[in-house]
Amino acid sequence: MTTIYLKSSFDEPSDTVREAAARGEVTIVAQADLTADILLAHQGLVTDNQLDQNAMLAIKDAITAFLDAGGRWFFNGHFVRPLVDGVAQYRPIADPKRPDFDLSPINPHPLFEAIDLKMLETNKGVAGFYGRGCNPLPNGAAAINGLGAANVPVDWVWARPQGGRIFSHAGNDLGSMGLEWNLAPELTRRIIEWANGGTCLNPWPVSPARPAENLPLASSENYGGMRMSSSKGRRIVAPTSGTYYNIRSLEGPAHTTIFDIICAPEELPELLQPDDVLWVPCRTPANRMIAQKATIMRHLQSGGTVVALGESRSDLWLPAIKFTATPTNWWWWLDPSADLGVRVTDAAADHPLMRGIGHREATWHLHGWFVPPEGTTVLAHDGEGRAILYEDTVSTPGRMIISSLDPMFHHGSHFMPATTRFLDRFVPNLKAYLDV
């Protein structure tokens, strides 16, 4: 038996993961292919922050059996579905300041041996990527690393009484940290080694050090799950990929009332009606939308509307899109005089979609730019004058609202307040503009 590296994203795993697969240390399994039998035939599981938690919830009994049999699960991200009994919903630090992201050890773990945590605390000098809260510490778990003075347990390991172990890292993928010191490959190797039964806390500590009793965490939120509507009028339909950030953005209290239907992408052929607005959230794995390309084209040909947000590779499943990806600069704002150059256009000043949205609300960082077809309305551009948000009513009988901005990812990750401000305005503007 070996470890599953669960591939939930469209992009290929890192070179380190593929090299481990070539050596037989890990088996790469697409999430759509994961079954109870496949899971139970392996001893380890590594998941990333694009994990479809809706799909995992459907095999909760198999996950429990896998752990009960001694399996090990390395979990990156936020628990927002009840995937394992005893693990509570992720909670962010309330109103965090920079010192709240200071990273320090609580109990030593072999996975971090000889690694200076200061090399993981920031990426390019920016804090918050490592984590901004915690999956609350289960009863009997040992905290490994903590955030801030209270040592919010961003990392913990739990030897379940029933069997098996879970290592929780409540932030961006641990195997992507330490970029400036090229630590990501080594961390990935160690994660795979741990999942394969490598050194952990052994013997289990009798009295491990603990975080503060009263942690400065925000309250948990209620996520209502998938949603259906029998309305015959215009509806906003949002396919969810089940990631923690899609779940919070679509189901969380801030914006959930706009969405009439929350469904899996695979349900669109049966649900999508010509009058509907199809809202595709940021960072939806492109393969899941490519499979719905014929349905989406029929929708546009019948006059329907599609809203496609950033990092979902809309160029692969929508027509007339010319997109160029760019490296992401997330550290530009460390210089108080810096300007990313994002500007809303003159056309945006009179456009209902952009009411209340200025340069400030559209600025966090950039992932790429478009060459829109002639006759479209560009609503925001980057510092080079290239489109990053536009409306296209000329390429099809329908309407496409296209952006490379990824506000739902950051709002859903409790990261970057500008993204929430953008959604606070864009969501009601869209609803009013399209008379939903």
Q: What percent of the chain has pLDDT over 70?
A: 100
Q: What is the pLDDT of residues 125-168, one digit of tens each?
A: 889 999 999 999 999 999 999 999 999 999 999 999 999 999 99
Sign of the four-CA dihedral 30, 51, 311, 317: positive
pLDDT at 407: 96
How far apart (Å, rounded) are the C-alpha atoms in residues 178 and 120? 5
| Residue 436 confidence class, pLDDT cut points 50, 70, 90 | low
Distances (CA, A) of 98 to 94, 101, 145, 177, 277: 12, 6, 17, 18, 39
Quick one: DSSP state of residue 163? S
Q: What is the pLDDT of residues 230-253, one digit of tens each?
A: 777 899 999 999 999 999 999 999
- End-to-end CA distance of the chain, in Å? 52
How far apart (Å, rounded) are the C-alpha atoms in residues 358 and 418? 11
Please give the radius of gyration of the chain, using alpha carbons only, rounded to the nearest integer.
Answer: 22
Q: What is the mean pLDDT of residues 91-107?
A: 97
Q: What is the pLDDT of residues 306-349, one digit of tens each?
A: 999 999 999 999 999 999 999 988 777 778 888 899 999 999 99
Q: What is the pTM of this model?
A: 0.96
Q: What is the pLDDT of residues 254-289, one digit of tens each?
A: 999 999 999 999 999 999 999 999 999 999 999 999
Q: What percent of the chain has pLDDT over 90?
A: 92
Q: What is the mean pLDDT of residues 410-424?
A: 94
Q: Where are the alpha helices (DSSP H) in 74-196?
A: 118-121, 184-195
Strands of 194-335 (E only): list them: 236-239, 261-263, 277-280, 305-308, 323-325
How far apart (Å, rounded) are the C-alpha atoms in residues 353 and 351? 5
